Amino acid sequence: TFDSSIPIYDVCILGAGFSGVKLLHECRKRGLKTHIYEALDDLGGTWRKNRYPGARVDSDIPVYELNIPEVYNTWTWSERFPDWSELRKYFNHVEQILDLKKDIDFNTFISQAQFDRKSGYWYIEASDSKKKCYAKFFLPCVGFASRLYKPDFKNFDRFKGKVYHSNEWPESDVDLSNKRVGLIGTGSTGVQITQEAAKVASELFVFQRTPNLCLPMGQVSNPEIQKNKKNYSKILNSRFDSFGGFTFTFVDKDTFDDSSEDRQNFYQTLFDRGGFNFWVANYKDIYFNQKANDEAYHFWRNSVIKRVHDPKTAEILAPKIQPHPFGTKRPSLEQDYYEQFNKPNVHVIDIKNDPIYEFTENGLKTKEGNEYKFDILILATGFDAVTGSFKNIDLKDADTGKILRDKWADGCNTYLGLSINGYPNMFYTYGPQAPTAFANGPTCVELQSKFILFIIDHMIQNDFKSIEAKKEHQLNYSNNLKDFANSSLFPKAKSWYMGANIPGKKIEMLNYLQGIPSYGKLLNEVYQSDFKGYEIL
């Protein structure tokens, strides 16, 4: 039944970011014939696209890297939170050590794939129909932010200036110096761009709908931690004991277990440690008890208003009334974000109270008739996150041919956040219903890869044809995930975690909220029970 002109692989991977690279490396070690298709022109996944001014990772090293000794023993980072250009250099280094490119087709966008129950193989085809293959196992490693989002603004076409979405930043770079710049969006991207644009633009208008409850980054040059690589493997393995896959985790205490003074001291310690400590090494009830969350918010707010000179500006950036429970939208790490708004040429415009009405030739007008003029508009308006990455591909159900994006129109259902009924022998990483949004990427990927490779080994050793998530187990997993989320404060925020950032998208928790250790335990239980919840033929 196979067309002899089409290559047959044991494993076909989509995407050459952290996940794709890790899985290709592991599959090769097993002697599996493995191939990657990558839509972009090089390794690095999200770091090929996110190269806007200030683009930087918010997970600190050494947790944000591959746990491959040949790679980490021969690499040194220059900063605790590296920027996009260093991450690109890192992927060049990865290539030098692992020699991956011979098994990768770049500039190849896979547009359709379907499993054939008779042969037990996937058929996978690129958008130009030229590249195609069969594969026993199909591993989409397409990331959670590969479908960008541009809002549909009234009269947008009228605007005569240049427009750039953060995720489409030109390789030739854009000179913002002495330009009037408009920036829409204050997610982690908008915050990072603000810090850079404010230093060079003649005028910067930051259009803010929701304030970002930013945390102090704690950037460090030439981090000490790399001096002794002997400890690396221990540090990297400790990530699996941390809720967010970092080297720190929630304390085993509720907010009001501590006296007010001890609580303030504890919050300050978390701030001083930098990174995501205040987010995911806080009191364990912070996302379940509104009053507890209020305490954290007020500590955060006080820290900000001290830094912003104009009280009106401070109130927009850090309002007295909490815009959403702290941490239920992704906090960005900042270095000198708040200080930028003390400059006379940097303005934050509150578009929650006075929304954008329409675009004009020279800029935009708000509902109340205020007009802002700029030469360059930057859209930092984010992504159809998590499930969106799967919408770009026609992933056809093995029996009905129905496409996954249509099947998920009313809500997404997966088993264990890595497999889907109707899609046998397919396992994805760092996507829907996994700890994705609440975990450091490489940690999540490593945990999932281990499980996926156990499955592949088991299937090959026993010469099995197919493995597929059972419907009832899938439903159970998805319902439990959503029920747990509903017991938390997360549904109170309109966030991409909940699919609420895209008009018309079903609002539901898209991420596993119980943390890396609990997710790891779950995967281990399934492994120990001979893959409970899967049908193996």
Name the minimum Å distance from CB 494 to ligand NA7.
6
In whole angstroms, the minimum distance from the beta carbon of 382 to ligand NA7 comes to 2
DSSP letter at 199? H
Pick 279 or 477: Cβ nearer ligand NA7? 279
Q: Which residue is nearest to ligand NA7 (CB)?
A: 187
CB of 153 to ligand NA7, least distance (A): 7
Rule CB under 6 A: which residues touch ligand NA7?
145, 151, 166, 184-190, 209-210, 330, 351, 356, 380-383, 494, 496, 501
**Token code pair at residue 38:** 């990558």
Q: How far is the CB of 114 from ligand NA7 (least distance, A)?
A: 30
Smallest distance from ligand NA7 to CB 103, Å: 28
- Nearest approach, Cβ of 421 to ligand NA7 (angstroms)? 28
Distance in Å, CB of 478 to ligand NA7, minimum: 22
CB of 19 to ligand NA7, least distance (A): 15
Q: Which two tokens stand for residue 304?
A: 């900000």
CA distance 183 to 201: 11
Residues 104 and 42: their CA atoms lie apart, in Å, by 9
Decide whether 199 or 494 has the Cβ nearer to ligand NA7: 494
CB of 386 to ligand NA7, least distance (A): 10
**Residue placing its CB nearer to ligand NA7 in the complex, 289 or 436:** 436
In whole angstroms, give the CA distance from residue 500 to residue 434: 18
Which of 345, 361, 70, 49 lies closest to 205 in space, CA to CA?
345
CA pair distance 537, 535, nearest whole angstrom: 7
Closer of 282 and 501 to ligand NA7 (Cβ) = 501
Q: Tell me how far, at minimum, the Cβ of 159 lies from ligand NA7, in Å.
A: 15
Contacts by residues 474-480 (CB-CB < 8 Å, ≥ 24 positions apart): 474/413, 474/414, 474/415, 474/420, 474/421, 474/533, 475/413, 477/414, 477/415, 477/416, 477/417, 477/433, 477/533, 478/411, 478/412, 478/413, 478/414, 478/433
d(CA 271, CA 264): 11
Judging by beta carbons within 10 Å of its beta carbon (0-12, 13-18, 19+), is residue 63 exposed, middle or buried?
A: buried
DSSP state of 250: -
Q: Which is nearer to ligand NA7, 185 or 216 (CB)?
A: 185
The two structure tokens encoding residue 429: 């990483």
Please state the φ and ψ torsions of residue 241, each to the nearest 5 degrees. Answer: -95, 5
Determine the angle formed by the axes of helices 84-98 and 18-29, rounding to 10 degrees.
10
By C-beta, is 75 or 430 nearer to ligand NA7?
430
CA-wise closest residue to 181 among 159, 162, 156, 154: 162
Angle at 84 between CA 79 and CA 90, to 5 degrees: 70
Structure tokens at 243: 């809720």
Strands 110-116 and 394-396: parallel
Closest approach, Cβ 497 to ligand NA7, in A, equals 9
- Measured in residues, the chain has a length of 537
β-bridge pairing 371-373 and 34-37: unpaired
* Cβ proximity to ligand NA7, 223 vs 331, nearer residue: 331
- 185: alpha, beta or left? (left if phi > 0; alpha if psi -120 to 50): left
Closer to ligand NA7 by Cβ: residue 338 or 415: 338
Q: Which of 381, 1, 364, 318 is nearest to 159 (CA)?
A: 364
Nearest to ligand NA7 of 191, 469 (CB atom): 191
In angstroms, what is the minimal distance from the CB of 137 to ligand NA7?
Answer: 28
